[in-house]
Amino acid sequence: MAIEIKMPRLSDTMEQGTLVKWHVKEGQQVESGQVLADIETDKATMEMPTYDAGKVARIVCETGSNVAVGETVMILAEEGESIEEAIKSVGAEAGNGEAESAAPPKRKSAPAAGTSASKTGSAAPAAAAPSPGATTSNGAGSANGAAGRMLVSPLARRIAEENGLDLRAIKGSGPQGRIIKRDVLAALGQTEETEESETAAAPGAGPAPISAPAAPLGGKVALSNMRQTIARRLVESKNTIPHYQVSVSINADPLLDLRATLNEQLASQNVKLSVNDFLVRACALAIHQHPHFNAAWKGDSLQISEHVNIGVAVALPEERGGGLVVATLRDADRKGLRQISSETKALADKARGKGLSLEEMSDSTFTISNLGMYEVDFFTAIINPPNAAILAVGAAIKKPVVRNDELAIGHEMSCTLSCDHRIIDGASGARYLQTLKQLLENPATLLV
């Protein structure tokens, strides 16, 4: 009996998912636990494993398809069952005895919502590139593998779409004629070295120079499921939560000095603490003195959590669709700097790679958003419901400061707290920042 693999619900709010990439192909044998595809949900890009073993009889939905939760995306043939029998049995179960034609038809990926004009100003739209092995309706595919087939890497497809290139006019140099990044760059008159020089400065050369954008301005861009969800949640947060902000400037010199000393001592153990690690621990410890910062609004009551779970905002790379996810460090008040550092790095790497699980993104009680690595000195952040507050942290900027009534050069770091006024009064927000300031300016207290 054939096995129908359906789109799983990978988050509590997920209604549909986008097939970002298939890791298997038709005719391939798969085992239980094997990752079949990458799925973009409303929160992140996550792996879709199979809990059955069998041979891939049909991939129903192509790369780029938006698929509702519970809809069939793949058909597996069980051991001893032929591919034809598997496809036929699925059609028969659907109440149609028309053999293969009765099985779920192949779903094409949705066309791009909009494309930009080419660099020369022409309006030639980018062709929506099928997934590897997908059949195209034009005959140009013979230059890119088997006749009628176009093989394109995801990165090459994205660059082509951003620059309004028709993939049918590009000859692939990859395996089996696959169009890869260097082929698209060559069509644009660039090389990989040229592209890298435009986006990154040489070591020690300072910030990369500002260059012209890779694609011209204008046009329409389709939003991913996650981008749409971020938009909804931000509007909901701003419309339903009465925000207010309070800021404080922190003398970061003691923190930077202690961090440098500890990293020097821990270098042999491959441990490197970040400023954010100290912030996580300081915020978690400060919550013990100000429990309302660990509360959630329940309409006629407040729910104060017994666990201090610090959410850390992680920006996703553009090649994975961009966006922001919040990774949760559970019981952060009970963990030392080394453990916080290790867990934060692991979560951030996973978020930027295969994606975080629902559990790894759930149950935060307080959130930190740190843009210091981008040399931003001040900003405000929007509360992440159901949290009562979020801390926006800027860079530790070297500037003229007053120390012990004398003018000196030192590092100052801004911390801006956005609070839910239903839960936290202005004076309470100021007192929390006062506690946080004391901890960060006397960082040795974070070691005990």
Q: What three-state secondary structure class fits 344?
A: helix
Question: How far, in Å, CA of 310 to CA of 346, rounded?
Answer: 15
List the strands of the sheet with 66-68, edge to edge: 45-49, 35-40, 16-22, 66-68
Q: What three-state secondary structure class fits 111?
A: coil
Angstrom CA distances, 324 to 78, 237, 259, 276, 316, stand at: 40, 15, 27, 17, 6
Say how many C-beta atoms besides its own lie within 10 A of residue 309's C-beta. Answer: 20
Question: How far, in Å, CA of 286 to CA of 436, rounded?
Answer: 6
- Indicate the DSSP class of residue 253: H
Angstrom CA distances, 181 to 63, 156, 163, 381, stand at: 18, 4, 13, 36
Burial-class residue 11 by CB neighbours within 10 Å (0-12, 13-18, 19+).
buried
Angstrom CA distances, 185 to 199, 422, 430, stand at: 14, 53, 53
Indicate if 307 belongs to the active site. no
Question: How far, in Å, CA of 62 to CA of 159, rounded?
Answer: 20
Residue of 363, 330, 359 lying closest to 344 (CA atoms): 330
Q: Which long-range contacts (CB under 8 A, 24 or more apart) does 29-34 make?
A: 29/53, 29/54, 29/55, 29/56, 30/54, 30/55, 30/56, 30/76
Angstrom CA distances, 8 to 1, 39, 74, stand at: 21, 9, 12
DSSP E strands in 260-356: the ranges are: 295-297, 302-304, 310-315, 324-329
Specify the residue for token string 């919040």: 326
- Residues noted as catalytic: 421
